[in-house]
Amino acid sequence: MINKHFYLSGFLWGALAVVPSAQALPVQGLDFTATVTSTATCTITAEPASPLQLPDTNAVELIGNSKALSGITPLSWVFTGCPKLGAPAGPTFGVRGTLNNEIISSDKVWLSKTSGTSEQFSVVLLNKENAAFIPDDLYKLDGSVVDVAFPGLGAGQPVPDNYALHFWVAMTCGGCQAESAKAGSLSSTLTFTFAYK
């Protein structure tokens, strides 16, 4: 019986040896990885240039309507010389400001004041010109606004020359305590961050 086993093996090996195609021989694989980047850096310009001056406004009118916005002024960021290569996540922005510590209501997240002699008045950042004091029209300034896609630019799309991000800035007595409100000066610093990744 042992001999028969060897005999069988011989025939099967012989059959493999006459297969006329190329024989499978040693194989080695190699993985290649790379990260494609861009050395181009956008030039970002504020229009109008900082500091942005808001018009004087009537404090009494704002105190009388806590949802009123006054002195709505456009602010744009214009981009030139950005990488011609698109980024996987596309361009994004974030914004934050110093919150107005005079405000105790939950509206504080929308309201910014860095300095000034006025009390209870704040600066707000809007996403449209004809805005109202409602969440849909306001940017939170507490640092939670990050990685917002540039309007009109999807993932992988480069930023064309002279692309502009548009915002509007206004004053308000939103969230204020009317009995404590006082006219005076008002300054706010808002910090925008831009990412391309």
Partner 1 sequence: MDRVNKTLITAGLMLITFCGGFPASAALFTAAPLSGNTTCLMSITSDVAGNITLASLDFGPVNGDALIGSAWQVAGAAGTGVNGLRNFWIQLKGCDQWDSAGKTTPKVTMTGQLYTASSGPENTALFRSGGTAKGFGVLLYDRQSSINFGSDQRPNGYPIPIPLAPDTGILKGNYAIPMAAGVSCGAEAWCAPQSLGMGTVNAHVNFELQYP
By the criterion CB under 8 A, which residues form the site for partner 1? Answer: 1, 4-5, 7-8, 10-15, 17-20, 22-40, 83-88, 156, 158
The answer to whether 124 touches 138, Cβ cutoff 8 Å, is: yes
Least Cβ distance, residue 152 to partner 1 (angstroms):
15
Q: Is 187 helix (H, G, I), strand (E, B) or coil?
A: strand
CB of 160 to partner 1, least distance (A): 11
Of 14 and 55, the one with the shorter C-beta distance to partner 1 is: 14
5/50 with CB nearer partner 1 = 5
Rounded to whole angstroms, how far apart are CA atoms 37 and 35? Answer: 6
Residue 12 vs 49, nearer CB to partner 1: 12
Q: Report, in Å, the least distance between residue 195 CB and partner 1.
A: 12
Which CB, 68 or 87, lies closer to partner 1? 87
**From residue 115, how far is each of 2, 41, 102, 118, 188 by CA, in Å?**
100, 33, 11, 9, 7
Least separation in angstroms between residue 23's CB and partner 1 is 7
What is d(CA 44, CA 46) in angstroms, rounded to the nearest whole number?
Answer: 7
Task: CB nearer to partner 1: give 52 or 195.
Answer: 195
- Strands 145-149, 43-47: pairing is unpaired
Tokens 């001999």 sit on residue: 3
DSSP letter assigned to residue 106: G
Nearest 5°: the CA angle 102, 108, 114 is 55
Nearer to partner 1, 72 or 153 (CB): 153
Angle subtended at Cα 61 by Cα 72 and Cα 131, rounded to the nearest 5 degrees? 30
